[in-house]
């Protein structure tokens, strides 16, 4: 890249990130420790002294840890079965276990209430009175998030296991090492970095999720606490301290996982050595494997099933299944004023954010893959930072920074929503594009230059066409996630006609009458949309799908 456009671009990028990431977050820090005239720790002290807040912090921590552990236990056997063994119907199950990704957990929560509430279907069926959602909804939150997030863990663990070439283990065995030694010295060191990279994404997601607790009306967690304080954010600085607490926690955990997942470059082994073709299973093991897979699949699809049921239910009150069924709510989803504008808004915002991310993603991917300057690591860290910044934190910081400016979200949240979505999802598209650049190799571009083509021509005719798969896949994923971004959406969109889908579902759900059913119908529509998006990008990316959901770009 020529020097001048290079510096112009890097400066523009730095400016963008400064304005929409660093500066707003710094504002949070400032407002938490500055009362306008003096440095003060009163707000932070208030946060730590408040028993409710302390409890909500530990509840959120519990949710994060419990979800991480649950997803680990769900995905480890899955990854092992799929990478190390072969059995009939393997591919079908491989697809099925990824299905939970197509529905955000807060949508699943809409339906799961009908099944598992005190007077829900399950208790009615068995004549019991068990509080399945436990602890005021806490268990429900954990369950729903675990069921939604285990595919991310699974993709990471699978990638990690797949990189553990059989020849590496064989050569260890040839030295006479005992199985335990091989586990300790070879398998774990190679496997854990990938695991931690996935675990941190799952943890942060669960730790900071706002949608699911809101739908389950579980208010005693950090995200909901922050949400409750948005209304008086300008008069009460405790909200800022709370946001700072959440941000600090996610950053600390992010750094820990970064350290733990560092520095394993897996060298791809020679052509002949990929002898990881799985073991054939004997009948007994096969039965066990099928039982496990069936259990996971049924459990994972329960939320989907329940939402579909609610969306089609005509009357459902104190009965195991709906008394009658109807298409009415889908008609509602396409005609109800709020629903229609919600879908339209989300389509527009997500498309705009995706377009923005495509441009930024290609440029950043190029810088990371094709330059070796000292600033490279810094840029990488900056781009990946949004992974550690929860949507709700970013949105809160925007609210405080841009109120009263031309970007004031109360007047029109469009610009800030687009920017917020872009910043939050940039890591995913950058990772996809970066993988593409690595894949095509620099020689492809150099060959073009050596034949006399300039930077623009090489980019247009060689680089972009070769990258198109990775760009498309990354873009589709970005789009899909923007459509169901919850935290930022609920905070930033204040007027009904500005509501994107997530907030429409939340609002409709609270209305009496058909509200929850129309919300579920919208959830089903979203599910179909998200499902198609993931299907397409999965087909484009093939096995590399996992790379996009990893915690480090290398």
Contact residues toward other proteins (CB under 8 A) are: 441, 443-444, 446-454, 457, 461-462, 465-466
Give whichever of 186 and 453 is closer to other proteins, judged by the CB atom: 453
Distance CA 435, CA 548 (A): 9
Shortest distance (Å) from residue 374 CB to other proteins: 11
Give whichever of 22 and 447 is closer to other proteins, judged by the CB atom: 447
Shortest distance (Å) from residue 542 CB to other proteins: 15
Provide the sign of the torsion angle of the four alpha carbons 179, 180, 186, 188, taken in this order: positive
Shortest distance (Å) from residue 199 CB to other proteins: 34
Phi/psi at 128 (5° precision): -105, 175
Phi/psi at 370 (5° precision): -115, 5
Residue 272 per-residue DSSP state: G
Give whichever of 236 and 468 is closer to other proteins, judged by the CB atom: 468
Give whichever of 404 and 441 is closer to other proteins, judged by the CB atom: 441
Q: What is the 3-state secondary structure (H, E, C) of 211-226?
A: HHHHHCCCCCCHHHHH
Residue 158 per-residue DSSP state: H
* CA diameter of the chain: 79
Give whichever of 180 and 456 is closer to other proteins, judged by the CB atom: 456
Shortest distance (Å) from residue 52 CB to other proteins: 54
Beta bridge partners of 39: 34
Shortest distance (Å) from residue 446 CB to other proteins: 5
Shortest distance (Å) from residue 462 CB to other proteins: 6
Distance CA 302, CA 305 (A): 5
Please calculate the CA angle 437-466-363 and round it to the nearest 5 degrees: 45
Asked whether the beta carbons of 173 and 185 are under 8 A apart, the reply is no
Distance CA 334, CA 347 (A): 14
Shortest distance (Å) from residue 3 CB to other proteins: 11
Q: Where are the alpha helices (DSSP H) in 209-336?
A: 211-215, 222-228, 238-260, 283-312, 328-335
Q: Where are the alpha helices (DSSP H) in 132-282?
A: 138-163, 166-174, 179-182, 188-208, 211-215, 222-228, 238-260
Give whichever of 8 and 447 is closer to other proteins, judged by the CB atom: 447
Shortest distance (Å) from residue 372 CB to other proteins: 9
Shortest distance (Å) from residue 269 CB to other proteins: 18
Give whichever of 473 and 521 is closer to other proteins, judged by the CB atom: 473
Which of 208, 202, 200 lies closest to 262, judged by CA? 200
Q: Which residues contact 528 (CB under 8 A, 6 or more apart)?
A: none
Give whichever of 174 and 451 is closer to other proteins, judged by the CB atom: 451
Which of 77, 20, 31, 43 lies closest to 353, judged by CA? 20
Shortest distance (Å) from residue 451 CB to other proteins: 3
Give whichever of 411 and 457 is closer to other proteins, judged by the CB atom: 457
Which of 54, 26, 114 lies closest to 312, judged by CA? 114
Shortest distance (Å) from residue 460 CB to other proteins: 11
Distance CA 334, CA 518 (A): 9
Asked whether the beta carbons of 394 and 420 are under 8 A apart, the reply is yes
Phi-psi bin for 217: left (phi > 0), alpha (psi -120 to 50), beta? left
Give whichever of 283 and 451 is closer to other proteins, judged by the CB atom: 451
Element (H, E) at 416: helix 414-440
Give whichever of 51 and 450 is closer to other proteins, judged by the CB atom: 450
Count of Cβ atoms closer than 10 Å to residue 238 Cβ = 19
């Amino acid at each position: 890249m020529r020097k001048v456009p290079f510096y112009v671009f890097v400066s523009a990028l730095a400016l963008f990130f400064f304005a929409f990431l660093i500066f707003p977050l710094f504002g949070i820090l400032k407002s938490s420790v500055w009362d306008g005239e003096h440095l003060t720790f009163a707000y932070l002290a208030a946060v730590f002294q408040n028993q409710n807040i302390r409890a909500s912090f530990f509840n959120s921590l519990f949710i994060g840890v419990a979800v991480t552990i649950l997803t680990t236990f769900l995905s480890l056997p899955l990854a092992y079965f799929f990478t190390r063994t072969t059995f009939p119907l393997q591919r079908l199950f491989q697809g099925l276990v990824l299905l939970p990704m197509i529905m955000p957990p807060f949508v699943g929560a809409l339906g799961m209430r009908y099944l598992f509430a005190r007077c829900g279907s399950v208790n009615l069926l068995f004549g019991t009175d068990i509080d399945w959602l436990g602890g005021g909804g806490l268990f429900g939150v954990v369950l729903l998030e675990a069921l939604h997030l285990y595919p991310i863990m699974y993709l990471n663990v699978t990638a990690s296991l797949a990189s553990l070439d059989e020849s590496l283990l064989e050569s260890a065995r040839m030295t006479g090492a005992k199985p335990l030694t091989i586990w300790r010295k070879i398998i774990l060191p190679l496997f854990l970095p990938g695991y931690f990279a996935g675990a941190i994404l799952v943890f942060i997601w669960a730790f900071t999720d706002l949608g699911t607790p809101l739908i389950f009306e579980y208010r005693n967690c950090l995200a909901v606490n922050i949400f409750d304080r948005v209304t008086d954010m300008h008069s009460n600085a405790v909200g800022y301290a709370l946001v700072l607490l959440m941000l600090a926690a996610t950053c600390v955990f992010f750094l820990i996982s970064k350290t733990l997942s560092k520095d394993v470059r897996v060298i791809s082994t020679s052509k002949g050595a990929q002898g990881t073709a799985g073991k054939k299973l004997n009948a007994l093991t096969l039965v066990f494997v099928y039982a496990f897979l069936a259990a996971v699949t049924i459990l994972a699809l329960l939320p989907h099933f329940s939402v579909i049921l609610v969306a089609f239910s005509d009357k459902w009150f104190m009965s195991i299944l709906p008394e009658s069924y109807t298409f009415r709510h889908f008609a509602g989803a396409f005609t109800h004023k709020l629903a229609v504008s919600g879908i339209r808004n989300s389509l527009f915002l997500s498309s705009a954010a995706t377009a923005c991310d495509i441009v930024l993603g290609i440029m950043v991917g190029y810088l990371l893959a094709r330059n070796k300057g000292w600033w490279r690591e810094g840029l990488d860290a900056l781009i990946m930072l949004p992974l550690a910044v929860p949507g709700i934190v970013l949105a809160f910081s925007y609210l405080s920074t841009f109120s009263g400016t031309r970007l004031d979200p109360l007047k029109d949240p469009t610009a800030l929503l687009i920017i917020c979505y872009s910043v939050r999802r940039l890591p995913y598209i950058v990772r996809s594009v970066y993988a593409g650049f690595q894949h095509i190799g620099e020689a492809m571009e150099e060959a073009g230059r050596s034949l006399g083509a300039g930077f623009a021509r090489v980019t247009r005719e060689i680089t972009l066409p070769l990258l198109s798969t990775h760009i498309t896949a990354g873009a589709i994923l970005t789009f899909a996630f923007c459509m169901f971004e919850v935290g930022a959406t609920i905070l930033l969109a204040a007027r009904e006609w500005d509501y994107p889908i997530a907030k429409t579902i939340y609002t409709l759900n609270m209305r009496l009458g058909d509200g929850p059913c129309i919300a579920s119908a919208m959830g089903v529509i979203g599910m179909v949309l998200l499902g198609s998006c993931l299907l397409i990008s999965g087909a484009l990316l093939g096995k590399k799908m996992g790379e996009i959901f990893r915690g480090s770009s290398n």
